[in-house]
Amino acid sequence: MPKTTRILLADDHAMILAALRMMIQRIEGVEVVAEAHNGRDAVARARELRPDLVIMDISMSELNGIEAAALIKAESPETRVLILSSHASEDYVRRAIRAGVDGYLLKGSPPEELAIAIRAAAEGNSYLSPSISRLVMAGMARAGVASESQLDALTGRQREILQMIAEGKSTKEIAFGLEVSVKTVETHRAAIMDRLDIHDVAGLVVFAVRNGLIDMDDDARRRSGGA
């Protein structure tokens, strides 16, 4: 019997998860084994279930999809990761590829393209939406070697903490969420400010938004309880 592809879905919008599950259930040879509602939950569920494929958004609370993808790939290289996002900027795509994702698909793509991307991932291949492929090729043609960005200068853990600071979480909340001490969080925050040469929380929030760690529209909807 052909192997069934086990899929974990991750998105912090319940309606999108429901629609995505419905589309995937129509694809032969695949099974949705679990759903996650933020990036940190996605990492935990991937660790627990070892799915064949994780399909997830970028803009999620606590841990964005790019950072979550890097953690999943580090812990389970055999798990494939497909980004399904509304973000089509070169910076998002570059960061996702550097995180080790196996595909990048835009929300709004037709269901048949999702099926193609899933099958490509299941066969060990990569998939980029045509518009994303053009974006990547244009970026490669433009530039020689890109200089390291300020965001790249931060460690993965520092980017996690920066995102949580920008989301308005207190030091104690961050420490509890990451299962570390308050002192550890304070040390990381001081290092972040030093590396970025930003010395107030408002400045960190602006930096996080500009560099795609959080989406202000999504964050506002979450705070108001909207979908």
Q: What is the reported pTM?
A: 0.69
- How many CB atoms within 10 Å of residue 207? 17
- How many CB atoms within 10 Å of residue 221? 14
Question: What would the pLDDT profile of 181-193 be if each residue is shown by its tens digit?
Answer: 999 999 999 999 9
In this prediction, what percent of the chain has a pLDDT beyond 90? 48
Output the pLDDT for position 137.
64
Output the pLDDT for position 22.
92
Which of these, 52, 73, 54, lies nearest to 5 by C-alpha position?
Answer: 52
User: Distances from the Cα of 61 to the Cαs of 25, 121, 153, 217, in angstroms?
Assistant: 26, 26, 22, 12
Task: Determine the residue type at 127.
Answer: Y
Question: What would the pLDDT profile of 55-79 be if each residue is shown by its tens digit?
Answer: 999 989 889 999 999 999 999 999 9
Q: 197: which 2 tokens?
A: 């040469």
Output the pLDDT for position 174.
92
Output the pLDDT for position 152.
81
Output the pLDDT for position 147.
43
